[in-house]
């Protein structure tokens, strides 16, 4: 698994969308998420983590130690139960300390710590983002070393609605209603263009608790850069990571406040006065003089 990380990291992620819906809101008819007061587009941290999970799963075929806990159609309690089976702990018998179980079929005491360690070792997303494992057989709770903010568009976005036609129907009854015309009308929503900015944080002390290693960190950077390459769909249009700026501290606790580092990365419009329709319509600058000498800036 490699050595555990021993430095703090912070990062700025820039990604964009063209003629697509980067993160639909199911509570708003799947419209692109938006800040109602400013009109800026939003992409949730959960959405970004999902793409990292999917990339890691595809690359490593969901094999330990890179299995994914939060995945499509997963039954989470079953995964926790498998941890106890692998450890040879029978939850139907008295606990290892000889005490009667507080809850039937659930771990307790040091058993929980053993199960938690097993889950962190085998599931990449648990040792990266953390997880609530206290349901079912109970493996406690894990606070992950990496956290992400929402992505927010640099400028307000415009949400467009398009009518679409499918030259088929689902059932014979639908066909009879249309007299054999067999058309299904639908809608899709797109953003003509939006450049989004998200921020992230990597904690070395928390990495020690989950076993998050240098190898895990390199895989995470790789996933951020390439997560859209295998996540294509007609609904999402053209999406891609445009820039990843990493701040590598020299100490475990960090050498500067994160707000000062993020403020050193500015995104401004180019001389084009019209609506932004491409990444080239923006200028990304890093004020290196505002960054302490002890912090290394890595651009990907």
CB atoms within 10 A of CB 93: 8
| Whole-number pLDDT of residue 57 | 97
Map residue 19 onto helix, strand or coil: strand
| Whole-number pLDDT of residue 173 | 83
| Whole-number pLDDT of residue 211 | 97
Domain boundaries, the chain: 9-299
| Whole-number pLDDT of residue 1 | 62
| Whole-number pLDDT of residue 166 | 77
Query: Long-range contact list for 24-27, CB < 8 A, 24+ apart?
Result: 24/189, 24/235
Ranges of the chain with pLDDT below 70: 1, 97-98
Map residue 80 onto helix, strand or coil: helix
**Which residue has 């992950």 as its token pair?**
144
Gap between the Cα atoms of 132 and 70, Å rounded: 11
| Whole-number pLDDT of residue 97 | 66
């Amino acid at each position: 698994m490699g050595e555990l990380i021993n430095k703090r990291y912070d990062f700025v992620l820039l990604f964009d969308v063209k003629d697509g819906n980067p993160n639909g809101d199911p509570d708003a008819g799947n419209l692109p998420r938006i800040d109602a007061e400013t009109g800026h587009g939003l992409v949730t941290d959960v959405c970004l983590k999902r793409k990292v999970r999917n990339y890691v799963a595809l690359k490593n075929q969901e094999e330990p130690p890179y299995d994914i806990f939060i995945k499509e159609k997963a039954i989470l309690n079953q995964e926790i139960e498998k941890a106890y089976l692998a450890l040879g702990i029978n939850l139907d018998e008295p606990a290892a300390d000889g005490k009667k179980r507080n809850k039937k079929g659930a771990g307790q005491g040091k058993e929980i710590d053993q199960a938690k360690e097993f889950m962190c070792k085998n599931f990449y997303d648990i040792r990266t983002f953390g997880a609530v494992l206290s349901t079912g057989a109970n493996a406690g709770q894990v606070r992950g070393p990496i956290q992400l903010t929402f992505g927010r568009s640099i400028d307000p976005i415009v949400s467009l609605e398009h009518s679409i036609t499918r030259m088929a129907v689902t059932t014979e009854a639908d066909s009879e209603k249309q007299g054999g015309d067999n058309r299904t009308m639908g809608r899709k929503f797109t953003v003509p263009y939006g450049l989004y900015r998200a921020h992230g944080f990597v904690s070395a002390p928390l990495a020690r608790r989950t076993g998050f290693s240098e190898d895990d960190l390199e895989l995470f950077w790789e996933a951020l850069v390439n997560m859209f390459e295998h996540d294509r769909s007609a609904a999402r249009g053209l999406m891609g990571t445009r820039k990843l700026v990493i701040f590598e501290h020299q100490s475990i606790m960090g050498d500067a406040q994160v707000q000062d580092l993020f403020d050193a990365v500015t995104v401004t419009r180019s001389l084009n006065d019209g609506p932004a329709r491409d990444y080239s319509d923006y200028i990304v600058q890093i004020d290196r003089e505002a960054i302490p000498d002890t912090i290394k800036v890595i651009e990907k």
